[in-house]
Amino acid sequence: MKQRPKILLVDDDVDLVKVMSGALESKAYEVIVAYNGQEGLEKARKEKPDLVVLDILMPVADGFTFAAQFRKEPSLAKIPVLALTSFSESLGQPFPFEVTEYIVKPIKPRDLVAKVEGFLKRAETA
């Protein structure tokens, strides 16, 4: 793995993005931010992140649209995606696409960092 793993954060909530990226950067991750699915796709193609943290309900292109397209592109298909959903939206409800793991909101920035760390470690050893 590279020295500084690159995380793409796709979420439309500016306040959430601020604290999540702050927490991730404090662990020396390089954080790239996109505020909707469309922007997320463009940045993913350009930056080739090590991991994507993806919100589901977003304007322009939501998480479903993002992931469906994401999985179709050979250069991106293998990148792990952590999907963020709020409790009432999902609780065990299957997504119509493959995400690597999903996280139920609300999540503390600290817990998100722990999830990301654990995930990258597993990806590295796998």
Partner 1 sequence: MANKTQRYYRSLYEIAAAVNSVRIPEGVLDSMAKTVSEALEVKGCSVMILTADRKVLLHTAAYGLSDSYIRKGPVSADRSIAEALEGKPVAILNAAEDERVQYREQAKQEGIASMLSAPILFKGDVMGVIRVYAAKQHYFTRSETHFVQEVANLGAIALERAKELEQCFIEVDKLEEGRRQFVRFLSVVAHDLQSPLVATQSILSYIADGYTGEITDGQKDLLQRGIRRIDELLMLITDLLDIPRIEAGQLVREMQELSLNGVIKQAVVGLDNVARQKGIELKIELPESSPKVYASSRRLQQVLINLISNAINYTHDGMVRLRVKEYENEIAIEVIDTGIGIPPDELPKIFGDFFRGRNAGKKGTGLGLSISKRIIEAHGGKLWAESPCLETGIGSKFTFTLPKNGRLGQNPGRNESVQSLRVNN
**What are the residues binding partner 1 (CB under 8 A)?**
13, 15-16, 18-20, 22-23, 26, 57, 86-102, 105-110, 122
Q: Phi first, then psi: give them for residue 50, nearest 5 degrees.
A: -85, -20
Q: How far is the CB of 33 from partner 1 (least distance, A)?
A: 15
89 vs 79: CA distance, rounded Å: 24
Q: How far is the CB of 97 from partner 1 (least distance, A)?
A: 7
> 35 or 47: whose CB is closer to partner 1?
35
Q: How far is the CB of 46 from partner 1 (least distance, A)?
A: 27
**Cα–Cα separations (whole angstroms), residue 86 to 24, 59, 119:** 20, 16, 20
Phi and psi based region of residue 36 (left: phi greater than 0; alpha: psi -120 to 50; beta: remaining): beta
- The residue with tokens 């493959």 is 98
32 vs 8: CA distance, rounded Å: 5
Residue type, 67: A
> 74 or 96: whose CB is closer to partner 1?
96
> 38 or 90: whose CB is closer to partner 1?
90
> 4 or 122: whose CB is closer to partner 1?
122
Q: How far is the CB of 49 from partner 1 (least distance, A)?
A: 18
